[in-house]
C-alpha cells in the first residue's frame, strides 16, 4: 500500500508491460511526468527486454521495475497488476501517450463515484497526431463500436487506456487466464470484472495517443479474432457465434 494522499483523492499506480520498447518508452514516461499531478508510482514490467528499455525507464522519477521472465502480455499484465500498490491501477501500453488531464480525470472519477470500479477511455491515433494533437479519435470510436457488437461484451477496457480499483482486480484475478495464444488479455480482464459484479464505465474524455496501426496486420488480426473467441468461450459470455473451442484450434491446452 502507498501512503494515503492528504486530499482524499485515490493514489494511482500506472502499470506498463514492456518488451524491447526503447523507441517509445521515453515519450510514454515523459507524457506521464508532465501531468500536473503525476502518479504515485509507475510499474514497468520487464518482460525480458534485451534493449535499453529498462535503462531509460530508470531515469524517470517514481518508476519501479518488476521482472516477469515468462514471455507474453498475459503474464506481464498480471505481474504488474499484482505488484501495484495504489488505490487505483491504471494500465497503458509502452507506446501510449496520455493527455495532460488523464490522471486528473481518473482520480476525480473514482473519488466522486464510489460505485465505479473500472473505467475505459478513448484513443487518438499516434501515427497521425503530431505534437499535442489528438486526431482521428473517430477511427477508434468506430472500431470500439464494431468490436463490442462483435463480441457482445461492453464496456471494453482496452489495455492501452483503462483504470480500475486495485480491490476489484484482487477479487476478479482468479477468473483471468494466461497464454497469449488462447487469451485476449484486455477482454479477459474486462469479462472477469463483469463476472464478479463490478461496475465498468466508458469515459470518452479519458484520452491517450496510441499506436493503433501497428495492430492492423493480417496475422495479428487473425490471432486477435481467434483469441477473442477462445476467451469468450472460456468465460461462457458474450456472443455465442464468436465462441471458439480450444479443441478445434490446435492451440495449447
The per-residue pLDDT of the chain, averaged, comes to: 94
d(CA 71, CA 20): 12
HSE at residue 186, side-chain half, CA atoms within 13 A, is: 24
pLDDT at 250 exceeding the cut of 60: no
pLDDT at 73 exceeding the cut of 80: yes
**Of 153, 252, 229, nearest in space to 194 by CA:** 153
Q: Are 109 and 202 in contact (CB under 8 A)?
A: no
Burial of 34 (0-12, 13-18, 19+ CB in 10 A): exposed
Q: What is the largest CA-CA distance in the chain?
A: 55
Beta strands 12-18 and 41-46 are parallel
Q: What is the dihedral of CA 74, 123, 19, 200, to 10 degrees?
A: -20
d(CA 89, CA 35): 17
DSSP 160-216: TSEEEEHHHHHHHGGG----TTT--HHHHHHHHHHHTT--EEEEEEEEEEE-GGGG-
In the chain, what percentage of residues exceed pLDDT 90?
86
In the structure, what pLDDT confidence band is assigned to residue 1 with cuts at 50, 70 and 90?
Answer: confident
Per-residue confidence (pLDDT) for residue 253, from 0 to 100: 34
pLDDT at 249 exceeding the cut of 90: no
d(CA 182, CA 231): 7
d(CA 218, CA 137): 22
| pLDDT tens string 133-177 | 888 999 899 999 999 999 999 999 999 999 999 999 999 999 999
Per-residue confidence (pLDDT) for residue 127, from 0 to 100: 84
| pLDDT tens string 93-116 | 999 999 999 999 999 999 999 999
Amino acid at each position: 500500500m502507498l501512503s494515503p494522499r492528504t486530499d482524499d483523492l485515490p493514489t494511482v499506480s500506472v502499470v506498463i508491460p514492456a518488451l524491447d520498447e526503447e523507441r517509445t518508452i521515453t515519450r510514454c514516461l515523459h507524457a506521464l511526468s508532465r501531468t500536473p499531478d503525476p502518479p504515485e508510482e509507475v510499474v514497468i514490467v520487464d518482460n525480458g527486454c534485451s534493449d535499453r528499455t529498462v535503462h531509460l525507464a530508470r531515469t524517470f522519477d517514481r518508476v519501479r521495475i518488476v521482472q516477469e521472465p515468462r514471455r507474453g502480455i498475459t503474464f506481464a499484465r498480471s505481474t504488474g497488476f499484482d505488484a501495484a500498490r495504489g488505490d487505483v491501477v491504471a494500465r497503458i501500453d509502452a507506446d501510449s501517450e496520455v493527455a495532460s488531464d488523464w490522471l486528473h480525470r481518473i482520480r476525480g472519477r473514482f473519488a466522486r463515484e464510489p460505485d465505479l470500479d473500472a473505467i475505459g477511455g478513448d484513443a487518438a491515433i499516434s501515427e497521425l497526431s503530431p505534437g499535442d494533437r489528438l486526431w482521428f479519435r473517430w477511427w477508434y470510436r468506430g472500431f470500439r463500436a464494431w468490436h463490442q457488437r462483435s463480441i457482445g461484451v461492453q464496456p471494453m477496457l482496452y489495455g492501452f487506456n483503462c483504470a480500475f480499483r486495485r480491490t476489484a482486480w484482487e477479487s476478479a484475478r482468479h477468473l483471468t487466464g494466461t497464454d497469449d495464444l488462447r487469451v485476449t488479455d484486455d477482454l479477459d480482464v474486462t469479462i472477469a470484472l463483469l463476472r464478479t459484479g463490478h461496475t465498468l464505465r466508458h469515459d470518452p474524455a479519458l484520452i491517450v495517443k496510441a499506436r493503433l496501426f501497428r495492430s492492423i496486420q493480417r496475422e495479428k488480426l487473425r490471432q486477435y479474432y481467434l483469441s477473442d473467441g477462445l476467451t469468450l468461450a472460456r468465460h461462457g459470455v458474450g456472443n455465442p457465434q464468436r465462441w471458439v473451442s480450444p479443441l478445434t484450434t490446435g492451440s495449447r491446452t
